[in-house]
Amino acid sequence: MFNKWHHIPEGYGNQAGVMTVAGLPVTELVAKHGSPLFVYDTALVHARVAKTRAALPVNVKLHYAMKANPHPAIVSLMASLTDGLDIASGGELKSALMAGVVPETISFAGPGKTDTELHDAIRAGVRVNLESELEAKRAGAIAMALGKTVRVAVRVNPSFDIKGTSMRMGGTAQPFGIDEARVPDVLATLGQEPFIFEGFHVYGGSQSLNAENIIEMQAKTFDMLEKLSVAAPCSPKVLNIGGSFGVPYFPGETPLDIVKIGNALATQIANRSEQIKAAEIVIELGRYLVAEAGIYICTILDKKISYGETFLITDGGLHHQLAAAGQFGQVLRRNYPVVIATNLDGKTEHKVTITGCLCTPLDRLADRVLLPDAEPDDLVVIYLAGAYGASASPKDFLGHAHPKEIII
Ligand SMILES: Cc1ncc(COP(=O)(O)O)c(C=O)c1O
């Protein structure tokens, strides 16, 4: 069957051929909340955070990058389960504060922060990860005007990159962070008020499934931070070494070996200078913590054959789940794992294409996949909808209704 080449996220059940989430049949969820529907299972998030913490050294802090899933209930949950939150906009700052997140545990990264965003962040007392020399000057001026100090970390664009991921955010010409070679000059300006220099942020890229590559990147990151710390106005309190932990989306991909990463990180820290050991080491993760805890459910509205190919047309689409349609960072379109959630036990396989209801050829949720019998009113479930799903999709496109998101 099609999904045999996919890694299927664990934790979902099968009750007489109907998929269950947290023991609840998807048919019941749709009857109650409607379709299409995003469902996030908090027990799966708890389990993933626990697994991650168990793999990482005890003294390493775990931060959640809220861009992965900014649903208020997920943000509150992650604030309670992790040690800090990474935000990327003024909107995320507002949501985080509304969710009751303690400002001291929030760090604000992202290029192109507006004056208003800097103002709000400084007033709230969150740490600003400086992405450029000009941003440092602007943050300083805004803090002075407010009569406040500004907690800062320097985001470094390292001279090395992470191998094996197409989602690189460092090691090449980038809008993110300050090139490693220029960082000492910036550090020289951060030694006095209104700046409170707190440390460094390094984010090499996303979605790596190769533990060796991540381990190598972490080792190089520590080498770099050891050198840069010498030029810092004071010993860094925080070293955010990024994350890059990926999840298997596509055929042939396998889960990341985080135990291997955790063991290597423990050795790495043990062999570093006292200055590095004294700092708080932070791993910053988004999708790894939440992607597999979410599903996207949609309902088949029509079934038709066009020039010999079968199409299952649903009430969902790329306006809700852009990533599953291959339009969010994929170079070649590949299918996410998908099931007919009301016929899990079906034995006969048919080659079908699952589309959404949008009038664009891009709106393919699954392209020529082998799935059991499916008819109008059957439910389709696309896995891995817990990260970069609803919030990363063009919800207003073509004026269809926005999807519902529920937490169980
Ligand atoms: C600075 C920063 N931190 C964290 C993340 C989260 O990445 P992921 O969801 O792949 O863990 C990103 C993703 O773009 C990022 O830019």
Indicate which residue's Cα is closest to atom 9 of ligand 1.
286
pLDDT per position in the chain (408 positions), as tens? 456 789 999 999 999 999 999 999 999 999 999 999 999 999 999 999 999 999 999 999 999 999 999 999 999 999 999 999 999 999 999 999 999 899 999 999 999 999 999 999 999 999 999 999 999 999 999 999 999 999 999 999 999 887 766 677 777 888 999 999 999 999 999 999 999 999 999 998 899 999 999 999 999 999 999 999 999 999 999 999 999 999 999 999 999 999 999 999 999 999 999 999 999 999 999 999 999 999 999 999 999 999 999 999 999 999 999 999 998 877 788 999 999 999 999 999 999 999 999 999 999 999 999 999 999 999 999 999 999 999 999 999 999 999 999 999
Indicate which residue's Cα is closest to atom 6 of ligand 1.
286
Q: How far is the CA of 29 from the centre of ligand 1 (A)?
A: 31
Write out the CATH class of domain 70-285: alpha beta
171 lines ligand 1 (CB under 6 A): no
Give the pLDDT confidence score for residue 92 in this predicted structure.
98
Q: How far is the CA of 286 from the centre of ligand 1 (A)?
A: 6
Give the pLDDT confidence score for residue 2 in this predicted structure.
55
| Fold entry, domain 2-40+292-407 | Lyase, Ornithine Decarboxylase; Chain A, domain 1 (2.40.37)
69 lines ligand 1 (CB under 6 A): no
Q: Sketch the domain layout of the chain as residue ranges.
A: 2-40+292-407, 70-285
Question: Per residue, what are the HEC states of the chain?
Answer: CHHHHCCCCCCEEEECCEEEECCEEHHHHHHHHCCCEEEECHHHHHHHHHHHHHHCCCCCEEEEEHHHCCCHHHHHHHHHHCCEEEECCHHHHHHHHHCCCCHHHEEECCCCCCHHHHHHHHHHCCEEEECCHHHHHHHHHHHHHHCCCEEEEEEEECCCCCCCCCEECCCCCCCCCEEHHHHHHHHCCCCCCCEEEEEEEECCEECECCHHHHHHHHHHHHHHHHHHHHCCCCCCCEEECCCCECCCCCCCCCCCCHHHHHHHHHHHHHCCCHHHHHCEEEEEECHHHHHHHEEEEEEEEEEEEECCEEEEEECCCCCCCHHHHCCCCCCCCCCCCEEECCCCCCCCCEEEEEECCCCCCCCEEEEEEEECCCCCCCEEEECCCCCCCHHHCCCCHHHCCCCEEEEC
286 lines ligand 1 (CB under 6 A): yes
Q: Which atom of ligand 1 is nearest to the CA of 201?
A: 1
